[in-house]
Structure 1
């Protein structure tokens, strides 16, 4: 059953309610992986009609994602990517690592957004950014859908490159996520320098569980957007 295409309704709402002329959609990929970075894309799309077939990257075939990402790179007004490494994830926890990657992406844009649309219901970004969260925003909101595709294609390419160095792990196929091949390689060879050592998968690997790191998560920002009057 086909999904409804994303629209600019959120972007138009932000323009109308708070005068946000530059709106960046933000989405992440790699949150649940065992290896590799968490990657965040910030995309500014304006209000033009998007390329045909734009939707949540998870609903697209790998081939179509790559094709669409190439179209989006020329179509978006601006986009930038930010990453948080496995070591940063281990040190600070996923929520803080997501914020770090998102800030890196947003600050790499050529123009500072007036508002940010985050996919999901949790604002992991916080002040000083003006944030609106949208559940399933990667399906319903053009700027978030664009960020979703660009983030997924870029991270998959990065993991495929790492897969050339670590052939047994098949990163080109699993992108660092759990899979039978990935787990078998871990059991035999142990984690690579690209693995997250605070993840629970190590608990089940008797030969390697001594490598597990206990992380001390960094608390989220005390000042959240809504507390500063940025809720809209």
Structure 2
């Protein structure tokens, strides 16, 4: 791997209709061969883990239709998840559970999960593109933080899909274990049904006690 450089942030506003491979191609021209995109899902929910993923796409076999996971249907995310798993050079995901979130806060838990996902890539990587404003500390490779990166970089978009699908699957399992909270529907976000269930049942073991309304109680 190359020696790490100072982390930087891409402040350029993107006016695309969707993500493309421009950032990756620019890095490839500089000699980087294994470029990973990293993103997370689940910063906002009141329960469950935050899940991060890292993906090294194969530039010769990029699945069609990659986009910010929030702009895709659940069915389309599942389809693309399978295509990403087959076509990519490497895929890795990591979850930071509710207890970790409560202990170190959601921002730090998200960054740690992204660092773990990047570190777990089978091929490794020699440069990372990170969704958002922050680069996880301690990376062994240079990295660029890309604001709204899941709508700008195909690699980050792929990571956003993997992270979202994995987290949704976890919350579907949580719904089986704690059916009173309706996790299958809202995936832990603060919907009216979810908030009503917390008031009626009290929090379950998957709730984040550093988040309101648990924190307020």
Question: TM over 0.5, yes or no?
Answer: yes
- The 3-state SS of whatever aligns with 1:201 is coil
1:154 maps to which of 143, 149, 166: 166
- The 3-state SS of whatever aligns with 2:194 is helix
Question: Per chain length, whose mean CA-contact separation is higher, i.e. which structure has more relative contact order (CA < 8 Å, sep 6+)?
Answer: 2
* Unaligned segments of structure 1, at least 5 residues: 210-232
Aligned residue runs from structure 1 range 36-185, under 5 A: 36-185=48-197
CA drift at 1:106: 1.5
2:40 maps to which of 28, 33, 51: 28
1:9 maps to which of 22, 26, 36: 22
Using the TM superposition, name which of 38-47 and 107-116 deviates more.
107-116
Conserved? CA contact 2:48–2:97, under 8 Å: yes
- The 3-state SS of whatever aligns with 2:92 is strand
List, as ranges, runs of 4+ consecutive aligned residues in structure 1 with deviation greater than 6 Å.
none
CA drift at 1:127: 4.2
Query: Which string of whole-angstrom CA distances, capped at 9 and with x for unpartnered residues, describes residues 19-70 of structure 1?
Result: 2111110000000110000000000003225222211110011111111212
Number of matched residues? 202
Conserved? CA contact 1:95–1:124, under 8 Å: no
- Number of the residue aligned with 2:206: 194
* Unaligned segments of structure 2, at least 5 residues: 1-15
Using the TM superposition, name which of 165-174 and 64-73 deviates more.
64-73
Give TM-score, length-normalised by structure 1: 0.82
CA drift at 1:126: 5.0
Query: Which string of whole-angstrom CA distances, capped at 9 and with x for unpartnered residues, describes residues 66-109 of structure 1?
Result: 11212221111110001111101111112221122112211221
CA drift at 1:203: 4.9
Higher helix share: 1
Using the TM superposition, name which of 124-133 and 58-67 deviates more.
124-133
* Residues 49, 111 of structure 1: alpha-carbon distance in 2 compared, 3 angstrom cutoff: closer
Give TM-score, length-normalised by structure 2: 0.87
Using the TM superposition, name which of 99-108 and 147-156 deviates more.
99-108
Using the TM superposition, name which of 172-181 and 5-14 deviates more.
5-14
Conserved? CA contact 1:81–1:105, under 8 Å: yes
